[in-house]
A and B are shown apart, each in its own frame.
Chain A
Amino acid sequence: MVKELLLSLLLVISIPFAQAGEAAPTSDDLVLEKKVMAVSENLRCLVCQNQTIADSNAELAVDLRNQVREKLKAGQSEEDILKYMVARYGDFVLFKPQMKSSTWLLWFGPLIMLLGGVWILIVNLRQRRKLQLQAHVLSAEEHERAEILLSDTIKKSDVPENTAQKNIAQKNTKEQS
């Protein structure tokens, strides 16, 4: 049991190390490498779709990183490189979707849904309050009857309340034992 626990603890501890498998930089120029990784982080790996080409070691990702490195060396901007990739692989290659008319639903959909939910909530609450206000207004006669009934219950309720307390007390002692 202890052995298994230790083993699983070890596994849990090793998770961050297992994920830190970012591909090793191939050039010595650390500034350039940093920039390559920064640009690569915005590009989706098409082979392993939920990774960026910075995270992926797929062969195509390595090729594309090399392409990014070459273009940065040639003095191209990040924007140029993203354009170059989109021209070949489509918008899908961008890890963060662009803001344009075809992606409005994607960007604003959740907000619209939230607003819709709030609206439904408000309408519901208002309706409920209206119903409560409209609730039957008592006539003088009914009012009197209600009062009698209420005072009756208050007197009688002494008895059941006591029993209820007793019950609770009994339950407590049972649980303690």
Chain B
Amino acid sequence: MKRTFIPLAIFVVLVVFLWIGLTLNPREIPSPLIGKSAPAFKLVQLHETNKVIAPEHLRGKVWLLNVWASWCATCLQEHPLLVELARQNIVPIYGLNYKDQRAAGMAWLQQHGNPYILSAYDLDGRVGIDYGVYGVPETFVIDKAGIIRHKVIGAITLEIVEDKLLPLIKELNNG
């Protein structure tokens, strides 16, 4: 009697593991940067080429860093959400224009709306590498002390905004 249950037990264990496997997204790689200081950089701005932007300038506020590019189709998908977030003034959003042509990037923002307070211009993608960017868009939540608290790989969705980003931003602002 006991013996007949062994294959069943093995089967159940397998099903459980495979089931868990199905719910995981292999594209999502846990970032080692979470809980660490946002890597420093100094980049010229997309619009005002004589001005630079560095994360140190943003100490003391909670902000989003959104990596985007005009050539990135998925960016367009999440863009209305970013525009809406900016319109509601919930959190300052800064852009990192990743490996883009300056003119193309600016035209893209003009066409689809500009949710960014400003965008840093990362032509060679060097800053992207420092931030472990491997798929655009990516969105980082950075706290008042300049620590990366969360990272979204791929397009943000309404669920991500409501379930994760908004509560986290609220918590960080109160903290």
Question: Taking beta carbons and an 8 Å cutoff, which residues of A are in contact with B?
Answer: 46-47, 49, 59-60, 63-64, 67, 86-92
Residues from chain B with Cβ under 8 Å of A90 in the complex: 29-32, 132
Assembly CA distance A92 to B99 (angstroms): 24
Question: Taking beta carbons and an 8 Å cutoff, which residues of B are in contact with A?
Answer: 26-27, 29-33, 99, 124-125, 129-132, 134-135
Q: Known contacts A63-B125, A92-B29: does B134 contact A46 (CB below 8 Å)?
A: yes
Q: Known contacts A59-B99, A63-B125: does B29 contact A88 (CB below 8 Å)?
A: no
Nearest Cβ on chain A to B85's Cβ, whole angstroms: 27
Residues from chain B with Cβ under 8 Å of A67 in the complex: 129
Assembly CA distance A89 to B134 (angstroms): 9
Question: Are A88 and B33 in contact, CB atoms less than 8 angstroms apart?
Answer: yes
Nearest Cβ on chain A to B159's Cβ, whole angstroms: 24
Assembly CA distance A64 to B133 (angstroms): 11
Question: Are B29 and A47 in contact, CB atoms less than 8 angstroms apart?
Answer: no
Assembly CA distance A91 to B26 (angstroms): 14
Assembly CA distance A87 to B33 (angstroms): 7
Residues from chain A with Cβ under 8 Å of B131 in the complex: 88
Residues from chain A with Cβ under 8 Å of B132 in the complex: 88-90
Q: By CB atoms of chain A within 10 A, which of B125, B131, B135 has the most?
A: B125
A-B contact pairs, 26 of them (CB 8 A): A46-B29, A46-B134, A46-B135, A47-B134, A47-B135, A49-B26, A49-B27, A60-B125, A60-B134, A63-B124, A63-B125, A63-B129, A88-B33, A88-B130, A88-B131, A89-B29, A89-B31, A89-B32, A89-B134, A90-B29, A90-B30, A90-B31, A90-B32, A90-B132, A92-B29, A92-B30
Nearest 6 CB-CB pairings of A with B? A46-B134, A88-B132, A90-B32, A92-B29, A89-B132, A63-B125
